[in-house]
Structure 1
Amino acid sequence: MASVFEKLQNELTFKNLRTMFYIVTPNETTYSRVEDVPDYFEKARPWFLLLIFMEFIVGRLTDKSHYALNDTITSMNAGILSLLPKIGGRTMSLTLYTYIYENYRFFDVPIDSIWIWIFAFLAHDLAYYLAHRAIHEAGIFWSFHQMHHSSEYYNLSTALRQGCIQEMGTIFFESLQSFITPPPLFLAHKYLNTLYQFWIHTEVIPKLGPLEYILNTPSHHRVHHGRNPYCIDKNYAGVLIIWDKIFGTFEPERDAEKPVYGLITNVKSFDALWLQFFEFKAIGWDKGWMKNKKGEDRFPGIWNKIKCVVAPPGWFRGLPTKQFFWWRCMEDPGKGIPKIEKTVVRYSQPLNLYETLYCVALFLTSFGCSTEFYPHRNEMSWQLFFAYSAYLVSHIQAVGYYLDKR
Structure 2
Amino acid sequence: MGPSCALPSPLNCSVSVSDWLSHLFTNTSLAYRLYARLDLTNLRHSLYLLSPYESAVPKWEEVPNYNIQVSAWWMLLVFVEFALLSLTGHSDRFALNDSMCSVFAGMLSQCFKFGGRAVAIFGYVWVWEHFRLIELPWDSPWTWLLCFLTQDLAYYLGHRAVHEFGFFWGFHTIHHSSEYYNFSTALRQAAIQDAGLAAYDILQAFLIPPSIFLVHRYFSEIFQFWMHTSLLGSLGPLGFVFNTPSHHRVHHGRNAYCIDRNFGGVLIIWDRMFRTFEAERKEEPPVYGLIRPERSFDQLWLQFHTLKELLCDKWRLKDEKGQKVFPKWTDKVKALFFPPGWFPGTKIRHFFHWTSLDDHTFGVPPVQMPVQKYDPSLSVWLKAYCLAHFLLLLCIFLHFEYDRAHLGYLDFTLKIAFFICTMQSFGAFFDKKKFAPFLEIFRSFGVLSYYITRTIIEHHKPQPNRIFIATLFVASAIVWVVVLLRHFVKKEAKAKVTAKDGKENRIIGNELRKDGMMEEKEEERKENTERRGGGERSKRDNCDCWI
TM over 0.5: yes
SS in 2 for 1:322: strand
Counterpart in the other structure of 2:77? 51
3-state SS of 1:197 partner: helix
Is it true that 1:282 corresponds to 2:343 in the alignment? no
Q: TM-score, normalised by structure 2?
A: 0.73
- Once the two structures are TM-superposed, the CA of residue 99 in structure 1 deviates from its matched residue by 1.1
Match of 2:86 among 60, 76, 79: 60
Q: SS of 1:268's equivalent?
A: coil
Read off the aligned partner of 2:108 and give its amino acid letter. Answer: L
- Contact in 2 for aligned 1:111/1:182 (Cα 8 Å): yes
Q: Answer whether contact 1:32 1:111 (CA < 8 A) is retained.
A: yes
**CA–CA distance in structure 2, aligned partners of residues 187 and 376 of structure 1:** 20
1:158 to 178, 185, 193: 185
For 1:216-248, what per-residue CA distance to the aligned partner results, in whole angstroms no more than 9, with x for missing partners? 000000000000000000000000000000011
- Counterpart of 2:36 in structure 1 is 10
Instruction: Using the TM superposition, give the Cα deviation of residue 171 of structure 1 relative to its aligned residue in structure 2, in angstroms.
Output: 0.8
Q: What residue is the counterpart of 1:336 in the other structure?
A: 363
**Is 1:76 aligned to residue 103 of structure 2?**
yes
Structure 2 residue 325 is the aligned partner of structure 1 residue 302:
no
- Where 1:170 maps in the other structure, the secondary structure is helix
User: SS of the residue aligned with 1:328?
Assistant: strand
Deviations 1:177-227 (A, max 9, x none): 011111110010011110100001011000001001000000000000000
How far is 1:352 from its partner? 0.8
Q: 1:23 aligns with which of 49, 60, 70?
A: 49
Q: CA deviation at 1:64?
A: 5.1
Query: Does the Cα contact within 8 Å between 1:366 and 1:396 map onto a contact in 2?
Result: no
1:143 aligns with 2:150: no
In the TM superposition, 1:107-256 aligns within 5 A as 107-256=134-283
Alignment gaps of 5+ in structure 2: 1-23, 434-547
- Corresponding position of 1:396: 423
**Structure 1 residue matching 2:367: 3-state secondary structure:** coil
1:371 is matched with which residue?
398
Q: For structure 1, which segment, 205-214 or 361-370, has the greater mean C-alpha deviation from structure 2 after superposition?
A: 361-370
AA in 2 matched with 1:296: Q
How many Å separate the matches in 2 of 1:362 and 1:272?
17
- What is the CA–CA distance in structure 1 between the aligned matches of 2:226 and 2:90, rounded to whole Å? 15
Cα separation, 1, equivalents of 2:124 and 2:115: 14
The equivalent of 2:7 in structure 1 is none
The farther-off stretch of 381-390 and 66-75 is 381-390
What letter corresponds to residue 302 of structure 1 in structure 2? Answer: W
Q: Give the structure 2 partner of residue 273 of structure 1.
A: 300
RMSD: 1.2
Q: CA deviation at 1:63?
A: 3.9
Aligned twin of 2:126: 99
User: Which stretch has the larger CA shift, 223-232 or 57-66?
Assistant: 57-66
SS in 2 for 1:117: helix
Structure-2 separation of matches of 1:122 and 1:207: 24
Residue of structure 1 equivalent to 2:3: none
Distance 1:201 1:64 in 2: 15
Instruction: Provide the secondary structure at the position in 1 that maps to 2:350.
Output: strand
Q: Distance in 1 between matches of 2:62 and 2:319?
A: 57
3-state SS in 2 of match to 1:224: helix
Deviation at 1:112, TM superposition (A): 1.2
- TM-score, normalised with respect to structure 1: 0.98
SS of aligned partner of 2:225: coil
Secondary structure of the 1:219 match is: helix
| Separation in structure 1 between the aligned mates of residue 349 and residue 243 of structure 2, nearest angstrom | 26
SS in 1 for 2:233: coil
Identity among equivalent pairs (%)? 44
State whether residues 362 and 399 of structure 1, in contact with CA within 8 Å, keep that contact through their aligned partners in structure 2. Answer: no
Which of the pair is proportionally richer in helix? 2
Is 46-55 or 224-233 further displaced after alignment? 46-55
Q: Which amino acid aligns with 1:397?
A: Q
1:353 aligns to 2:380 (yes or no): yes
Structure 1 range deviating more: 108-117 or 175-184: 108-117
CA contact (8 A) 2:101 2:299 kept: yes
Q: Is the 8 A contact 1:226 1:260 kept in 2?
A: yes
Correspondent of 1:33 among 59, 69, 73: 59
Secondary structure at the counterpart of residue 356 of structure 2: strand
CA 1:117–1:267: 2 relative to 1, 3 Å: same
Report if the CA contact (8 A) 2:135-2:208 is conserved. no
Equivalents in 1 of 2:326, 2:260: separation in Å? 23
Count of residues in Structure 1 that have an aligned counterpart in Structure 2: 406
